[in-house]
Chains A and B, each alone.
Chain A
Amino acid sequence: EDKVVQSPLSLVVHEGDTVTLNCSYEVTNFRSLLWYKQEKKAPTFLFMLTSSGIEKKSGRLSSILDKKELFSILNITATQTGDSAVYLCAVGTGNQFYFGTGTSLTVIP
């Protein structure tokens, strides 16, 4: 059975902290891994990862994939209150994307 597991389920940090969100997976026919940020409504795209060891970076956010160990991490440095959201990991196979339960991040001023 294909599955995606995210940890932790929730996280509360202070502004300026650095956080690491984890996503592990077991799927057949892996194609890609995506990270999304969801604030109340539609998830918005952050990163797509297809190759191991190549870091994707956008401002204070970065992500990397390890296809041998079957996991990805999403790092957020110097967190801000606007980073508060649910972060979803999705793994794409031949037919669809499988989503994890998400990590709820709360950044306190």
Chain B
Amino acid sequence: DGGITQSPKYLFRKEGQNVTLSCEQNLNHDAMYWYRQDPGQGLRLIYYSQIVNDFQKGDIAEGYSVSREKKESFPLTVTSAQKNPTAFYLCASSALDRVYGYTFGSGTRLTVV
């Protein structure tokens, strides 16, 4: 079955550490996205990519980095520069024209301890 796989489901990070969240899709989608979800704030776009080796900042990119070396993969690194990283992170993908909207992964809940 086609879909998006995010891992891990839960992640704990110590302050000052970088962590990487994985996102893999086998839908042959060109576009991939990372969103952050906080209570009462909906989904906010961190980064998106429409083609391999290219990506753009979203509304809240500070403290995050991404790479897109393969069409299927779009990992997100939460760096120590991100001051409040505790949140629920959702990865999504779509065809370039976004006609059918997004397909979402099941999310990663990151907690700073």
Contacts and interface: CB of A to CB of B under 8 A. Distances in A.
Question: Do A and B assemble together?
Answer: yes
Interface of A: 4, 6, 9, 31-32, 34, 41-45, 48, 88, 90, 92, 95-97, 99-102
Interface residues of B, number: 21
A41 B44 CA distance: 16
Contact of B42 (A31, A44, A92, A100): A100
Given A32-B98, A34-B101, A92-B101, A41 B42 contact: no
- Mostly, the B contact residues are loop
Given A32-B99, A88-B43, A102-B42, 10 more contacts: A4-B42, A6-B42, A32-B98, A32-B101, A34-B101, A41-B106, A42-B90, A45-B101, A90-B43, A99-B44
B63 interface: no
Nearest to A33: B101
Contact of A41 (B40, B98, B107): B107
Interface in B63-106: 90, 98-102, 104-106
B9 to A, nearest CB: 9
Nearest to B100: A48
B74 to A, nearest CB: 14
